[in-house]
Amino acid sequence: MRLAPLVTLWILASFSFGAPAPGRSPNIVFILADDLGWGELGCYGSTFNETPHLDQLAREGVRMTQAYAAAPVCSPYRASLLTGQYPARHGLLDYLRPTTANPLSPRHVTIAERLKAAGYVTGMIGKWHLSGYRYHKAPIELRATDHGFDEELVTEIKGVGNGANFFPYVFRTQPISWNSAGKDKLLPGKEYLVDRMNHEAVRFIERHREKPFFLYLSHFAPHSILNGRPDLVEKYRRKHPPGKSTSSRCHLCQDTGLEGDPLNHWAGDHNPHLAAMIEGIDQGVGMIVKKLEELRLSKDTLIIFTSDNGGELKVTSNAPLRGGKSQLFEGGIRVPLIVKWPGKVPGDKVCNSPTCNVDFYPTFLEVSAVKRDESQILDGRSVLELFQRPGAKRNGRTLYWHYPLPKPHFLGGVSAGAIREGKWKLIEWFGKKEMSLFDLDRDPGEERDLAAIHPEMAERLQNKLSLWRNSIPPTK
């Protein structure tokens, strides 16, 4: 009978977020997909896309159902990830054009800088998109190595170049490579960008196995223009015939020759190019997990997989959520999030508590036992305890969005702000000067606007959103 308390203490200790193995801080591997919708993975309900390694990651860790992006487009998300601040505070409110004179400011102390100062090797592989480019005559170009990363690999060199997915990574018909990986072909056959990035991630882990490392693997996929690896595209074509999903043509799918998809597959839940790109990312997750196991680093490594915003409606469906990329509906800002850390995070758990990507910065500080700088403003909060006890009830928190646009986004988004408090979410439409109110517990698809039925709640949330917005000093 005396053993019972000891066993209980041992179990609690095995899932505590205490110090890692003596003499070594835990590694952090952060894998970011680009425009991956909330329901695109098998563990989030997809029956067409095949993601066995991510599904296994979820079985061995925690799957978050209400994780949010701080913005519905890429650059603001990435800036929020690295600064721990909402876009309204760090100042990047929309995706950056290649000519911009306003990159992520060096006045920000990024999480990479904090971890590097604490002895971590820091590496960024893939999409950066936090600066303009000299190639486009931007007056300043700041790279990942200007923001705390020791290594910067397989990244864009003169614009994002979406669609440049095959070696030598040319964009459409242009003869010049848009990617730094184009200088050195490493893989046999027709080298594919997702494969190359997965390969570089494994090599980074191998190189730095003796020191704690922070790896930021930032995929360009599955952002359109969609180029799936040919063998995988053919596999998914056999699973579902073209033209059967929705009434909306997918004009943003291309085969390896970049001449367009001759079969004219349709946007929806059965897009073979999208599925192929997602499976390529999934294969990389399997490669990383396997390498960590080979090097006996699994128990000392926190792995996080997520997306920068919702899926693009021209190439996929975000059902059952409404809307998509560029919009403040759930389909634009709710993203998949899977967390694995053997012995520290319990396995096969689901967490329904809301989180936001501004939370990663303080979370990584706590993981690495790096003391928070009290003079630094962080809008996020550490969610380590949430990962540890995903089923426990949490005190409510309020999440905010600020997405002012001078004109509508080409994907359908309009100038707006939003606030979520408990089950309630309010969207304030700046142009129309109107509000929409939703009960996300009963209506996660945001089909029923309750602003007229609950005017007091709508007014209270709008006032709170306005006070928050006005409390943040204008950014330069």
Specify the CATH number for the domain of residue 462. Answer: 3.30.1120.10
CA-to-CA separations, 142 to 75, 111, 157, 342, in angstroms, rounded? 14, 16, 11, 36
Query: Distance (Å, rounded) from C-alpha 180 to C-alpha 169?
Result: 9
Backbone angles phi, psi at 352, to 5 degrees: -100, 10
Residue 427 has pLDDT above 80, yes or no: yes
Same domain, 362 and 440: no
According to the model, what pLDDT value does residue 253 have? Answer: 66
Cα gap 289→60, rounded to integer Å = 11
Distance of alpha carbon 316 from its chain centroid, rounded? 17
* Confidence band, pLDDT 50/70/90 cuts, at residue 237: confident
Give CA–CA dist 359/340, Å, rounded. 16
308 in any annotated domain: yes
Q: Domain check: are 366 and 431 in the same one? A: no
270/402: higher pLDDT: 402
The one-letter code for the residue type at 341 is W
Would you say residue 407 lies in a domain? no
In a domain, 205, yes or no: yes
pLDDT of residue 7: 41
Q: Do 222 and 170 lie in a common domain?
A: yes
Give the span between the Cα atoms of 68 and 244, in whole angstroms. 31
Same domain, 390 and 424: no
Assess if residue 19 is contained within a domain: no
Domain harbouring 134, CATH code: 3.40.720.10
Give the count of domains, the chain.
Answer: 2
The CA-atom distances, in angstroms, between 442 and each of 3, 396, 457 are: 45, 18, 16
Residue with more model confidence, 250 or 431 = 431
Q: Are 148 and 157 in contact (CB under 8 A)?
A: no
**Residues 436 and 346 occupy one common structural domain:** no
Q: Choose one of 361, 394, 427: the last residue of a domain.
A: 394
Residue 38 domain-assigned?
A: yes
Same domain? 386 vs 421 = no
How much of the chain exceeds pLDDT 90, in percent? 78
153 and 292 fall within a common domain: yes
Q: Are residues 375 and 436 in the same domain?
A: no
Residue 183 CB neighbours (<10 A): 10
Q: Is the pTM for the entire model greater than 0.85?
A: yes
Residue 215 has pLDDT above 60, yes or no: yes
Q: Do the domain assignments include residue 410?
A: no
Q: Name the amino acid, one letter, at 260.
A: G
pLDDT of residue 376: 93
| Domain ranges, residue 422 | 415-476
Tell me how far apart the terminal alpha carbons of the chain are, to the nearest angstrom. Answer: 65
What average pLDDT is seen over the chain? 90
Is residue 12 included in any domain, yes or no? no
For residue 234, what are the contacts with CB-CB under 8 A and spacing of at least 6?
272
pLDDT of residue 10: 43
Assigned token pair, 84 = 């721990």
Q: Which residue has the higher pLDDT, 59 or 411?
A: 59
pLDDT computed for residue 33 by the predictor: 99
Query: How high is the pLDDT of residue 162?
Result: 83
Which two structure tokens, joined as six digits, stand for 466?
Answer: 């306005």
